[in-house]
Structure 1
C-alpha cells in the first residue's frame, strides 16, 4: 500500500496539519522581510532566532518522517519529495488563501 503515490500524498496531507504553524512562521518571516511593519523595529535577527529555530526543528522532524516513506514508494526521489512538499503545504496555503 505504501508504494502508491496517493498514500504518500495522504500521509503528507496529515503531516501538513501540524505543519501549519512552522509554515505560517515562514510566511511571516517572508512578509516581514519584504515589508516590515513600523512597530517591528527589533531587527531581523530576533525574528530568525525566535521563529527560525522552531521551523528548523519541525523541518527536520518532517524529513525524518518522510525518509522511510521515500524509500518504500515507487516514485522517483525527486517526484516523491515534490509530492511531499506539495501535500504538506496544502493546509497552510488553504489557510493563507482564506485569510486574504
Structure 2
C-alpha cells in the first residue's frame, strides 16, 4: 500500500498536527529544567507528573501507527524513522515560525 516516501511523510505530517501539544510540553519541560522561572517554585516533579504520561502516550501511539508502515516502504529503517520524526515535527516548527 504505502511504498513511496512522500506517503509516509504525509501520514506523519497529519500525525504531527495533534502532536503539537505534546511537543510543546516537551519544549516546556526542557525550558523549565534549564532556567526555572522564579514564580514556579513547585519544582519539576509536578510538571513531569502532569505532562509525562500524556507525552509518553502520544509517543507510543506515534510509534504504534508507524511500525506497520515502516515495513511496507522501500526506505531503510533508519531513513524511515528519521523521515517520520521530521514529518511529525513539521507542524510544530511551522507553528513556532509563524508566531515569531
- Deviation digits for residues 15-56 of structure 1 (CA, Å, limit 9, x no counterpart): 000000101100111111111111111011111111111000
- 1:1-100 to structure 2, matched below 5 A, reads 1-100=1-100
Q: What is the alpha-carbon root mean square deviation over aligned residues?
A: 0.9
Whole-angstrom CA distance in 1 between matches of 2:35 and 2:94: 22
For structure 2, the 5+ residue unaligned runs are: none
Whole-angstrom CA distance in 2 between matches of 1:50 and 1:93: 24
Q: TM-score, length-normalised on structure 2? A: 0.95
Whole-angstrom CA distance in 1 between matches of 2:59 and 2:16: 11
Moved over 6 A (4+): none
1:98 CA displacement: 2.5
User: How many correspondences in the alignment?
Assistant: 100
Q: TM-score, length-normalised on structure 1? A: 0.95
- Deviation digits for residues 46-86 of structure 1 (CA, Å, limit 9, x no counterpart): 11111111000000000000000001000000000000000
